[in-house]
Structure 1
Amino acid sequence: MTVTRPVVENERVGALVSQVTSDVSRLVRDELQLAKAELKDKGKEAGLGIGLFGGAGTVALYGLGALIAAAICGLAVVLPAWLAALIVAVLLFAVAAVAALLGKKHVSQATPPVPQRAVEGVHEDLEALKGHQPEGKITA
């Protein structure tokens, strides 16, 4: 009996090591998938913000054109034409300001371009492998 017992225990240890290796491999793959998904979401958010910045620049350019037209009309005619162009220019700059603020908001939501949830998950997994319970986490 004493001869078969170490063999059985070695088989159990071998199975446990195999299971841990498999679990760690699956865990790493899952964390990489999470990181890829998170970076994809942040890329979309940054793209939207950059597009809004581009739109803001375009509208500001139109505002500059209207402002130039206002100056020309102001020199040519005393009041009505340039006043109208000036009002249009102010409105265009207001639209540009709103678009720029929205663009800034979207770009700031996409930064830093690090998959934070995935990194936190890896840290928690490492702590769990070490046998520590992460702070504030309750396991079932």
Structure 2
Amino acid sequence: MSGAHPAGTGDERSLGQIVGDLTHDMTTLVKQELDLARTEMKQEAARAGKGAGMLGGAGVAGLLALILASFALSYLLDNWMPVELAFLLTTLLWAIVAAVLAARGRAELKKSNPQLPKTQQTLKEDAAWARAQKS
């Protein structure tokens, strides 16, 4: 029973002081948790920013490679057909790829749920827990 008050002695604080201390401690805890979350978010945002920048650069490089590969394909087809037809076929190929990707992307967007149901449920549970602690 270490840390417990010996029999016959008790905490000398009033109920109001205990509630005030508890409120102060909860406020401090929440502030500390928010500070920790803010710090972690800043670090993660910096990492994400670097990653996004690199992905952007990779996208530009990929686009340039795609353009040059399209020219190479067109000039390769030029060996068997007029150059205009070769470029037209290459363009049609990329139009088909774009249409397929657009259709799949649209279908994926329709499946998405921006309501965040799990987050909403946990927030409701947290609010219920806080109300139970109050009473």
TM-score exceeds 0.5: no
TM-score by length of 1: 0.41
TM-score by length of 2: 0.42
